[in-house]
């Protein structure tokens, strides 16, 4: 029995954990208020994977879900207190060798506000309304078909 390799990231209302197990079968996910359990058989050799986590904060086990794909199992743990950041997934500060942060999906949402999103949309609209390629000045000599000194034939090597 081995723990499955996993990546996690934090959002305003939920915490996401992706267990990287290809061809998983017999997936079992247990959402408890302060604990989370995952187990499955994975790969062509049907290795048994099992993970148990004492969570950093409480979750709403009735609103939490999971989805299996051919490559992984993604779990969405709905926070009991939305809007509260989780600096780590586990209650203990111990480093788990099988768990890492999913930096591709990580977002510092704590400092975000609705006003900033509105300003971003206005900025995007402004950029889209600005001129495109037609406004670029011509580049002198860029399209000339004249031969250069480096176009000469190379001497043969002996």
Q: Where is 128: in which H helix or E strand?
A: helix 114-129
User: What's residue 73's pLDDT?
Assistant: 96
Give the structural domain span for 55.
6-101
User: What's residue 147's pLDDT?
Assistant: 61
Please compute the mean of the pLDDT values over residues 82-92 and round it to a whole number. Answer: 93
Please compute the mean of the pLDDT values over residues 37-60 and round it to a whole number. Answer: 94
Domain assignment present for residue 110? The answer is no
pTM (predicted TM-score): 0.68
Mean per-residue pLDDT of the chain = 82
Confidence band for 137, pLDDT divided at 50, 70 and 90:
very low
Domain assignment present for residue 40? The answer is yes
CATH of residue 75's domain is 2.60.40.790
Domain assignment present for residue 89? The answer is yes
pLDDT at 54 over 60: yes
Looking at the structure of the chain, the number of domains it has is 1
Return the closest-CA partner of residue 32 out of 55, 8, 3, 9.
55
Domain assignment present for residue 56? The answer is yes
Q: Where is 127: in which H helix or E strand?
A: helix 114-129
Q: What percent of the chain has pLDDT over 90?
A: 61
Domain assignment present for residue 33? The answer is yes
Which residue has better confidence, 112 or 99?
99
Domain assignment present for residue 121? The answer is no
Please compute the mean of the pLDDT values over residues 128-139 and round it to a whole number. Answer: 48
User: What's residue 100's pLDDT?
Assistant: 95
pLDDT at 154 over 70: yes
User: What's residue 132's pLDDT?
Assistant: 46
User: What's residue 153's pLDDT?
Assistant: 77
β-pair type (6-10, 14-19)? antiparallel
Q: By CB neighbour count within 10 A (0-12 exposed, 13-18 middle, 19+ buried), where does 35 fall?
A: middle
Please compute the mean of the pLDDT values over residues 101-116 and round it to a whole number. Answer: 70
pLDDT at 135 over 50: no
Domain assignment present for residue 109? The answer is no
Domain assignment present for residue 119? The answer is no
User: What's residue 155's pLDDT?
Assistant: 78
């Amino acid at each position: 029995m081995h723990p499955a390799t996993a990546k996690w990231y934090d959002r305003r209302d939920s915490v996401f954990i992706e267990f990287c197990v290809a061809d998983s079968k017999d997936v079992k996910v247990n959402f408890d208020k302060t604990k989370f359990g995952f187990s499955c058989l994975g790969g062509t050799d049907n290795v048994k994977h099992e993970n148990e986590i004492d969570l950093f904060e409480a979750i709403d086990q009735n609103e939490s879900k999971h989805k299996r794909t051919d490559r992984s199992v993604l779990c969405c743990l709905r926070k009991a207190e939305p809007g509260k950041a989780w600096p780590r997934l586990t209650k203990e500060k111990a480093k788990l060798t099988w768990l890492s942060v999913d930096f591709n999906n990580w977002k510092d949402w704590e400092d975000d506000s609705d006003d900033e999103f509105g300003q971003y949309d206005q900025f995007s609209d402004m950029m889209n309304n600005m001129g495109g390629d037609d406004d670029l000045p011509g580049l002198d000599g860029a399209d000339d078909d004249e031969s250069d000194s480096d176009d000469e034939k190379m001497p043969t090597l002996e």
